[in-house]
Amino acid sequence: MRRLAFALVLLLSATLGVSAARAAVGPLSLASGPTPFAPGCEVTAQTGTNFANAEVEPWVDANPLNARNLVAVWQQDRWSNGGAHGLLTGVSDNAGRTWTRPTPPTFSRCAGGNAANGGDYQRASDPWVSLSPNGDAYQISLSFNDSDTTSAVLVSKSEDNGHTWGPVTTLIKDTDPQFFNDKESITADPTSSRYAYAVWDRLDQVPNVPGAPFFGPAIFSRTTDGGQTWEAPRIIFDPGPNSQTIGNQIVVLPNGDLIDEFDLIDQGLPQVAIIRSTDKGQTWSQPVIVDLMLGTALFGNGVVDPSDGAPVRTGDILPDIAVDPRPGTSNLYVVWQDARFTQLDRDQIVLASSTDGGLTWTDPKRVSENKAVQAFTGSVHVRQNGHVAVNYYDFTADDPTGGTLDTDYWATGSRNGGATFSPRERVTPHAFDMRTAPDAGGFFVGDYEGLTSANQVFYPVFVQANSGNLANRTDVFSTTFRPTFAGGAFRPQALTPSAEAQSAAPKATFSGARMRH
């Protein structure tokens, strides 16, 4: 009888999956909701089309003191020609199963901004959030006007796990049409709650002067007293005339060194680069070039609907970086869009890594699994045990003969420093129609998507379109991802000599300054 009972238990376990293994990807949780912003809340007449209820471009971080506390931010009510009505915050206190949406910082007029509180701007963009070791959260915004050339970088801090937000601090404000601030990010130092770092690019070009050179240096500001004050912004890297940085993002190595990673567009040629600071941002090294960014946008087309060539706006000029948090390590990982593995025909997600804090880098390897379709907008993160996760979109489910543009979001993981990856897992339960997303220079769900971890669980926070629902085009969703490493590992593709020769001489470059607000 005991043997019979044991056999029945084994049968039930095999049939029902009891305790056999957790699902690699959990169910989706809705983080966003109906817009709180009224039409016309920006007060001044605007150009472009506003997509009410359209959320795009989320970022997320986990509380080091409470693994169940996640804080996410995103653009709410995206405009076709840049920015949104405001930036909203989502807070979860149960590891992403449910989300609340507290009153956001006053980064724009629609969010309660005015001249008195420092938020007197028509639009906000490029949301980012980061949590300190003591649980304090920092949120940053690119706030700007459509009716004039004003642009600013604003910061707000939360001392209660993201549930309420303090007053806005202005790091920089430009009203002169010669300058525009763009693509900012913020990083709380994981080694000290005194420090947090803001970084962005500031485009500089004399207007209405044909042939005038442009500049796009990396600008940096920091707090050394837990957000009470911020230092005056200053240039930490200037690539010179007709060159720029974009997508600056700081990570902190376990030894406390800072790494600023960005797209260095040098005389029109994009490449992943990093600079390093060993003194908390006071001084910075010269750049180290990781590799060229040979995405299809370099050659004029970019990611498109294969049925009719309609553009899809992606993170094609924005690499993403992650740091291994384990003490004593100096491992870094960067992902970006690149077409060198498809004879420059279709973007894929590639990964390069460093084991010496960014001094040297591996050659990029393809980590998106379906080489036959376009893959885009990659995210990378490293959890506490050193395992790596990569997320991205692609068109595996799409029928290219026309109709909808069926799109999925994917996740894959590595436990050996990127040598092999787990078979990819579908994050989206079913494909969504990218053509429902707001059109902002192409069908748009964000120049980047969020990915963090806590308690050895990865938490993707991303946007998908609500297919065909033009009144609520997109929403922000979260889920969990636990890579399954048993068997069937995907080995990232390295270049063959012929493909390497194909990628060595790009046929085109970007012309003019690049903005992605």
Q: What is the per-residue pLDDT across 284-301, written as a single tens digit (0 to 9) for each?
A: 999 999 999 999 999 888
In a domain, 250, yes or no: no
pLDDT band at 489 (very low <50, low <70, confident <90, very high): confident
- pLDDT tens, 262-278? 999 999 999 999 999 99
Where do the DSSP E strands lie in 64-178? Answer: 66-79, 84-92, 123-131, 137-144, 151-158, 169-174
User: Which tokens hold the place of 246?
Assistant: 């974009």
The Cα–Cα gap between 351 and 419 comes to 10
Does the structure show a pLDDT above 70 at 436? Answer: yes
- Positive or negative, the Cα torsion across 345, 348, 352, 358? positive
Residues in CB range of 235: below 8 A, 6 or more apart: 217, 218, 219, 220
In a domain, 129, yes or no: no
- On whether the CB atoms of residues 70 and 454 are closer than 8 A, the answer is yes
pLDDT at residue number 112: 98
pLDDT band at 21 (very low <50, low <70, confident <90, very high): very low
Q: What percent of the chain has pLDDT over 70?
A: 93
Helix (H, G, I), strand (E, B) or coil at 310: coil
Residue for token pair 């998908």 = 464
In a domain, 323, yes or no: yes
Does the structure show a pLDDT above 90 at 315? Answer: yes
CATH of the domain at 363: 2.120.10.10
pLDDT at residue number 23: 72
Domains in the chain, number: 1
In a domain, 359, yes or no: yes
pLDDT at residue number 160: 97
In a domain, 301, yes or no: yes
In a domain, 186, yes or no: no
What mean pLDDT do residues 247-267 have?
98
In a domain, 336, yes or no: yes
Helix (H, G, I), strand (E, B) or coil at 58: strand
Domain that holds residue 355: 293-449
Q: Compare 135 and 16 and report the one with higher pLDDT.
A: 135
In a domain, 389, yes or no: yes
pLDDT at residue number 498: 53
- pLDDT tens, 152-197? 999 999 999 999 999 999 999 999 999 999 999 999 999 999 999 9
Does the structure show a pLDDT above 90 at 485? Answer: no
Give the chain's mean pLDDT.
Answer: 93
User: Which tokens hold the place of 271?
Assistant: 């490449």
- pLDDT tens, 400-415? 988 999 999 999 999 9
